[in-house]
């Protein structure tokens, strides 16, 4: 794959080895062009102006809803809600359906490998409502503890008739594990069909092809900025029936049907959930990002990253052996393009600093997964995350950089 030329940041920093796409991705020229075109040629508000540039902005904004719906195979564009990112998508849920569905003695179930964005809002919802907050552990292979050796999923004592919410990440941002979410959701629903199932696809949508109907979930959230789009825009997909039954999230302009001194009635889904002027340029940029990703092909992207991650793990293991402890499943078939590790007693921040001195950008710390790090008995780790613009040469530079880390610090 030779797409580096599409990313102008490499003109500004030709030496940059960017291995932090899990945090945010770089932006290709077509995405930048789409945003600049909006601001420079039709930067009007949407759904309000009865004049040409406003109508164009509204059409582009609403067309993105259709593009996103097709991207995740949602049955209708009206099930797509634009938010500021995965974090807001999940907070929208906890403050709408969460409040009306969860009460004293109910159960909210998640996993220990969740990002804080899919952990803290549910934990606080449980605390505030008196519900039981249940967290699925991992096994020694860094898969979820519900995965049995014979391939079966065992949810005994986890999902019960009291469970109201089950939420899970499709790809772990730290372990790189691709969870078998379709099978897990089927197992959840087999025990209790009324459980509301939520999927955090922040690390999945940029890299794997997603089909919400096939996954069988009720809600799915992701962020534009991790999939070549702008920051400040994200998506919440939900089943229409559930969205229609939910109260609005924020109140104000553009989400109403009629307002009088006595009462207010709300717009229909999805506009009911999009109060105020949204991030119009961001939504338009997201459409350009999805178009770009689809031109390459999500399957091609997944294969490319998988090959880089396999190569990185092989090379690091070969060079450093037991000095490096890899996080995540040993079965490469269960992994996405994320390689996270600890390096003897060298602190991840020191590793990151020396790599940066060599123009290599990685993430160091707890990656917003403190419960997982505590479970693994570590305080920090170093993460390299790959995307379309990365090459085998980038991996070779990472290994060279790690050799310098070793020479300097051990």
Interacting residue ranges for ligand C6P, rule: CB under 6 A: 22-23, 85-87, 115, 117-118, 169, 173, 200, 202-203, 223, 363, 367-368
Structure tokens at 377: 């008995």
HSE-up of residue 44 (Cα within 13 Å, Cβ side): 16
Residue 299, Cα to own-chain centre: how many angstroms?
Answer: 18
User: How far is the C-alpha of 387 from the C-alpha of 226, rounded, in Å?
Assistant: 10
Q: Which is nearer to ligand C6P, 57 or 199 (CB)?
A: 199
- Tell me, yes or no, if 368 is annotated catalytic: yes
- Least separation, in Å, of the C-beta of 173 and ligand C6P? 3
Q: Of all residues in the chain, what percent are helix, strand and coil, respectively (each to 5)? A: 45, 20, 40
Distance between start and end Cα atoms, the chain: 36
- Least separation, in Å, of the C-beta of 16 and ligand C6P? 17
Q: Which is nearer to ligand C6P, 57 or 338 (CB)?
A: 338
Phi–psi pair at 26, nearest 5 degrees:
-75, 165
Q: Which is nearer to ligand C6P, 163 or 340 (CB)?
A: 340
Contact 57, 46 (CB under 8 A): yes
Phi–psi pair at 380, nearest 5 degrees:
-155, 160
- Least separation, in Å, of the C-beta of 244 and ligand C6P? 25
Q: Which is nearer to ligand C6P, 57 or 171 (CB)?
A: 171
Q: Which is nearer to ligand C6P, 203 or 269 (CB)?
A: 203
- Least separation, in Å, of the C-beta of 226 and ligand C6P? 6
- Least separation, in Å, of the C-beta of 24 and ligand C6P? 7
User: How far is the C-alpha of 215 from the C-alpha of 206, rounded, in Å?
Assistant: 17
Contact 6, 252 (CB under 8 A): no
Among the listed residues 34, 68, 346, 368, the single catalytic one is 368
- Least separation, in Å, of the C-beta of 49 and ligand C6P? 30
Contact 173, 337 (CB under 8 A): no
User: How far is the C-alpha of 325 from the C-alpha of 306, rounded, in Å?
Assistant: 19
Q: How many residues belong to the chain? A: 410
Q: Which is nearer to ligand C6P, 203 or 381 (CB)?
A: 203
User: How far is the C-alpha of 223 from the C-alpha of 206, rounded, in Å?
Assistant: 9
User: How far is the C-alpha of 382 from the C-alpha of 349, rounded, in Å?
Assistant: 8
> How does 280-303 read in b/e, with b if 16+ C-beta sit within 10 Å?
bbbbbbbbbbbebbeeeebeebbe
Q: Which is nearer to ligand C6P, 76 or 124 (CB)?
A: 124
For the chain, how big is the Rg over CA atoms in Å?
22
- Least separation, in Å, of the C-beta of 162 and ligand C6P? 26
Residues annotated as catalytic (active site), given as ranges: 368
């Amino acid at each position: 794959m030779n797409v580096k030329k599409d990313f102008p940041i490499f003109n500004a920093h030709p030496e940059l080895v960017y291995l932090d796409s899990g945090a945010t991705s770089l932006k290709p020229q077509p995405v930048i062009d789409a945003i600049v075109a909006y601001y420079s040629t039709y930067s009007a508000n949407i759904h309000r102006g009865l004049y040409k540039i406003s109508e164009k902005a509204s059409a582009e904004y609403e067309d993105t809803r259709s593009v996103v719906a097709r991207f995740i195979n949602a049955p209708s564009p009206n099930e797509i809600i634009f938010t500021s990112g995965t974090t807001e998508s999940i907070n929208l849920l906890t403050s709408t359906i969460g409040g009306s569905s969860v009460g004293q003695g109910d159960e909210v179930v998640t996993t220990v490998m969740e990002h804080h964005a899919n952990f803290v809002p549910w934990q606080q919802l449980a605390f505030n409502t008196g519900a039981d907050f249940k967290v699925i552990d991992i096994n020694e292979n860094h898969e979820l503890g519900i995965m049995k050796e014979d391939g079966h999923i065992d949810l005994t004592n986890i999902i019960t008739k009291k469970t109201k919410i089950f939420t899970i990440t499709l790809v772990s941002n730290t372990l790189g594990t691709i969870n078998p979410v379709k099978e897990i959701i089927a197992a959840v629903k087999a025990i209790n069909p009324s459980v509301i199932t939520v999927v955090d696809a922040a690390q999945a949508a940029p890299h794997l092809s997603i089909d919400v109907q096939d996954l069988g979930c009720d809600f799915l959230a992701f962020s534009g900025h991790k999939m070549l789009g702008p920051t400040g825009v994200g998506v919440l997909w939900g089943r229409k029936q559930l969205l229609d039954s939910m109260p609005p999230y924020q109140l104000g302009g553009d989400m109403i049907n009629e307002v009088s001194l006595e009462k207010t009635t709300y717009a229909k889904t999805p506009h009911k959930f999009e109060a105020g002027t949204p991030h119009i340029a961001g939504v338009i940029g997201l459409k350009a990002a999805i178009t770009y990703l689809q031109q390459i092909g999500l399957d091609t992207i997944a294969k490319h990253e998988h090959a880089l991650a396999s190569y990185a793990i092989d090379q690091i293991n070969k060079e450093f052996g037991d000095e490096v402890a890899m996080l995540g499943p040993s079965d490469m078939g269960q992994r996405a393009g994320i390689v996270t590790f600890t390096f003897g007693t060298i602190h991840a921040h020191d590793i990151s600093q020396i790599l940066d001195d060599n123009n290599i950008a990685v993430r160091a710390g707890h990656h917003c997964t403190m419960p997982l790090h505590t479970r693994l008995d570590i305080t920090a780790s170093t993460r390299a995350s790959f995307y379309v613009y990365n090459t085998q040469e980038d991996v070779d530079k990472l290994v060279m950089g790690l050799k310098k880390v070793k020479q300097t610090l051990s």
